[in-house]
Amino acid sequence: MADCDADPAIMAWASRYTRNPKQFESQLRSALPHLAYVQQVAGQYDVAGEFVLLPWVESHFHPAPTGKRHRSAGMWQLMPVTAGAMGLRVDRQYDGRLDVPAATHAVMKLLERYHDQFHDWRVADYAYNAGEFSVRRIVRSHGMPAERPVIPDWPVRKVTREHLAKLLAIACVVREPARFHVSLPSLPDQEHLVKTAISHSMPITQAADHAGMPADALKQLNPAFRGSTIDAGAASYLLLPASHAKQFREAMPAQASDVSSGGKGPAGAQTAPRTHTVKRGDSLWQIARDYAVGVGQLQRWNRLQGQALKPGQVLQVSAAN
């Protein structure tokens, strides 16, 4: 996309971001694990590289939910209706907007589709901020924007024009850091975020113990799970720093051995029953088949009178030991 000098607004925002170089470097260092993960995912899509930095404009790469006054949430600041259209689950137990891997893949697919439709990355950014249908109406009335000015002179809200200017500005800083008297931080290999498979649901405290990290730190990296349990039926993975991911994977076979030997560890502690969160299209028969149990068992464990299920419903799918 456009370089630093393509529009005065780009330089204005770039200078604003870096007016306190040390503070900017600190902010970027905090964002770097998520930024590097987004870059890894974006490499799988035909998307302009500047969009790796889109979460900087949206949230400074913070994947936590916003306050109650705002309905948008997550690193990409998605609205619930937008998330639903993108195939992300949002309910009381799990919020896919806060699931960094799931939301990042969904956004990259969306940006790819916008570019396939409009053939202009600037318009794709406008569509992300103002909505696809609003942009379609403008295209019908005014046609596609000319190459100049770089920030299209369209009848859109100021915030939409600024959104594109901010995206190009942070890309400008990353492209030419010396111009703004800043240094770009590097990320040690052990701090890279890794998508780590989980075989079954477990309490967050147990997952954190396996990973060798504080429960609060694990929760901050995986805020999509709204309760105190990692629900494998909602997402079959955790996002962990590489060093902790290795420890987690090494701990899991021991956990699996505990379950297979009767669900008790060395101290004879009970293990919680496995659960499954119902997704749209699930049937009781298919769930029973997936977990190698009988339909009647599922009905007894969950006190079900029939076979009707609701998306988001949490079912016990194994006996408590």
Enumerate domains of the chain plus CATH numbers.
Answer: 4-180 (1.10.530.10), 192-260 (no CATH), 275-316 (3.10.350.10)
Report pTM.
Answer: 0.78
Percent of the chain whose predicted confidence (pLDDT) is above 70: 89
CA distances from 123 to 14, 112, 164, 235 (A): 21, 12, 9, 32
C-alpha–C-alpha distance, residues 72 and 57, integer Å: 14
CA distances from 276 to 41, 114, 213, 281 (A): 27, 35, 26, 14
C-alpha–C-alpha distance, residues 61 and 187, integer Å: 15
Mean pLDDT of 89-96: 90
Share the mean pLDDT of the chain. 88
pLDDT digits (tens, 9 = 90+) for 297-317: 788 888 888 788 888 888 887
282 versus 113: the higher-pLDDT residue is: 113
pLDDT digits (tens, 9 = 90+) for 50-80: 999 999 999 999 876 655 555 889 999 998 8
pLDDT digits (tens, 9 = 90+) for 97-152: 999 999 999 999 999 999 999 999 999 999 999 999 999 999 999 999 999 999 99
pLDDT over 80 (residue 203):
yes
254 versus 4: the higher-pLDDT residue is: 4
With the CA atoms of 259, 263, 265 and 270 taken in that order, what torsion angle do they form, in degrees rounded to the nearest 10?
140
Q: Which residues contact 105 (CB under 8 A, 6 or more apart)?
A: 41
Q: Which residues contact 52 (CB under 8 A, 6 or more apart)?
A: 35, 38, 39, 42
pLDDT over 80 (residue 291):
no
